[in-house]
Structure 1
Amino acid sequence: MPDAITCQAAGSSFLIAQISDLHLKAHGKLSYGVVDTLAALRRAVEQLNASQPRPDIVVVSGDLVDFGQPEEYAVLRPELERLHMPYYLVPGNHDERAHLLAAFADHDYLPSSPQAPLDWVVETHPLRLIGLDSTAPGRHGGQLEDGQLRWLDAQLAARPHTPTVLILHHPPFVSGIGHMDREPFLNAAALQAVIAGHAQVERLLCGHLHRPMQRRFAGSLCCVCPGVSHQIVLDLRSDAPAHFNLEPPGYLLHHWQAEHGLVTHTAVLGQYPGPYPFYDGNGLID
């Protein structure tokens, strides 16, 4: 028998906006002396608030700030509070658990202690959300501990008929961008084995790579979000240097309709010429 949340989802349309890799700094500093990450986040919040239709929720897939310092989270919090919809956070390798929890102590979906990974579940939307803390202190790359994998397996087993989205910072695959792959996801095969046993996992939503990417993963789809400000250079050489650029920033929109499933769109942040009609009053415009 489908559970109550499945019945709720059957008649629902639900829109998730995903932003990632904010890398917010304190005291007005530019990231790498070039990128105004605060201005970039403000533009993103304004665009999400003005969207038609407006997203129902926002998920932020890690690297919320640049150095995990309290003063950075103090800058971040009021900017995210400007969103006109609920938002949910997972940490990235640039974050620090204790300082993140202190800044967002009223986010009751988050665990109360920084001594363990910040994993969480939210059951109140048409799609079930599971946040996973893929950070490992001292490492740039990601991993999930054995205990986290057991916890995830139990959570998924508890609601096998409820469409579910997993949110974690690190994509559990090799991207082909050399410098980003030097510290790969340590136990991707173990995560793959868990997810393969649970067909209700609709997406894995990730960040970290600062580019839109997709890969099949354990019978599901792993979607990587572009950065809110700067992007990693698309260089697929194995010895690719660690470079970024200022390509147009972006975000992902995940649109759930029970009768059609989950469709993911890549959107661009910023204002551009248009929209222009394809047709005038007399038909197709040449």
Structure 2
Amino acid sequence: MLIAHLSDLHICPPGRLALKVSDTIGMTQRAFDAVAALPVRPDILVITGDLTESGLPEEYALVRSMLGKLGLPTLLIPGNHDVREPMIAGLDLGPHADISGGFIQFKADLGPFRLIGLDTLLPGSSSGAICDARLDFLERALAEAEGRPVLVFTHHPPFSCGLGYMDAVMLKDGAARLTEIVARHPNIERVLSGHHHRPVQVRYAGTIGQVVPGVAHQVILDLTPGAEARFLMEPPAFMLHMGRPGTGLISHTAYVGAFEGPYPFSLGKE
């Protein structure tokens, strides 16, 4: 079982750069090309939000076209830059999507794993929230898993990452109940998020919380208290989550770009 996990595409209309700097269409296409070129084809693609920069119908039309060319089964949840109504209207959310109550969530079974995606969008805010209706969906999806290993996906991380400017916009409302639910279910192997545009790992509620880097620009790594939120054009990346019997989930970071090599290690021998 192999999951390609991408986040934070921030697709803009053609000819527009995100934040006047980031060519998100080109960067997303290169990331999709990197996924397509993997030696082992992923079983599924999960994108944890911020598919678009502004939630415009023309942005979702472009995302849909790019995903169609990639041709992988895909699971999607919204981020704070997304807008639910045009996202639902403009994308093929697939058979595993749950849009009850107007939220965009999913539950899907892949090999021995159950994948659950939660909508943490709070319209008009960069921070996240999750209400009782969405958490009730999580409770039901966990009950149906009957103890099988579970991966929970969110856009906003429900845990601190140590970057003050990102912790200020993490999941807030509803985070306490989510943490309590996760702590009650030791079969939750990971809570996997986006939003922070950095690779982060932390122990959370008895499991592992993990943030995937952004496909677009990255947030600067500055652990100075009170540091200003800034971004830079570090190499984009995505995660590959591999399920292995007897081991559980193994995660790898895959960088997007053209790099020298590969070379055989035998070149170093005389």
**TM-score, structure 1 length as denominator?**
0.89
Q: Which moved more, 1:214-223 or 1:249-258?
A: 214-223
Tell me how far apart the structure 1 counterparts of residues 182 and 82 of structure 2 sit (CA, whole Å).
26
Give distance in 2, aligned partners of 1:160 and 1:110: 20
Which position in structure 2 is the counterpart of 1:159?
Answer: 145
Q: Which of 43, 54, 71 is residue 84 of structure 1 equivalent to?
A: 71
Determine which of 214, 235, 248 is the counterpart of 1:248. 235
What SS does structure 2 have at the residue aligned with 1:239?
coil
Q: Which residue of 2 aligns with 1:45?
A: 32
Larger radius of gyration: 1
Matched, 1:184 2:175: no
The answer to whether the 8 Å contact 1:176/1:237 transfers is no
CA shift for structure 1 position 178: 2.2
The code of the aligned residue for 1:208 comes to H
Alignment of 1:84-233 (within 5 A): 84-105=71-92, 107-112=94-99, 115-186=101-172, 187-233=174-220
**How much has 1:107 moved relative to structure 2?**
2.0
Quick check: 1:45–1:82 contact (8 Å CA) kept in 2? Answer: no
Contact 1:160 1:200 in 2 (8 A): no
Code of the residue aligned with 1:26 in structure 2: it is P
Between the aligned residues of both structures, percent identity stands at 42
2:182 aligns to what SS in structure 1? helix
**1:112 Cα deviation (Å)?**
4.4
Q: Distance in 1 between matches of 2:191 and 2:138?
A: 13
Partner of 1:70: 57
Deviations along 1:34-86, whole A, 9 cap, x unmatched? 11100001111111111011211110010000011111111111011122321
SS of equivalent to 2:252: strand
Deviations 1:8-58 (A, max 9, x none): xxxxxx000101000000132011111110000111111111101121111
1-structure distance, mates of 2:167, 2:192 = 18
Name structure 1 gaps, 5 residues minimum.
1-13
Q: How far 1:229 sits from its partner (Å)?
A: 1.9
Where does residue 6 of structure 2 map in the other structure?
A: 19
Name the CA distance, whole Å, in 2 between partners of 1:58 and 1:17: 5
SS of the residue aligned with 2:253? strand
TM-score, scaled to structure 2: 0.94
Corresponding residue of 1:9: none
> Quick one: which amino acid aligns to residue 199 of structure 1?
P
Give the conservation status (yes or no) of the 8 Å contact 1:252–1:266.
Answer: yes
Change (3 A) 1:64 1:106: closer
SS in structure 2 opposite 1:48? Answer: helix
Q: CA deviation at 1:110?
A: 2.2
Report which stretch shifted further, 144-153 or 265-274: 144-153
Moved more, 79-88 or 228-237: 79-88
Question: How far does residue 105 in structure 1 lie from its aligned partner after superposition?
Answer: 4.5
Q: Structure 2: how far apart are the matches of 1:259 and 1:178?
A: 37
Verify the 8 A CA contact 1:233 1:245 in the aligned structure 2: yes
The CA RMSD over aligned residues, in Å, is 1.6
Q: Which residue of structure 2 lines up, in the alignment, with residue 265 of structure 1?
A: 252
Instruction: Output the CA distance in 2 between the equivalents of 1:224 and 1:253.
Output: 12
- What is the aligned partner in structure 1 of residue 263 from structure 2? 276
> Given residue 211 of structure 1, which amino acid in structure 2 is its aligned partner?
R
**Count of matched residue positions in the alignment of Structure 1 and Structure 2:** 269
Unaligned stretches of 5+ residues in structure 2: none
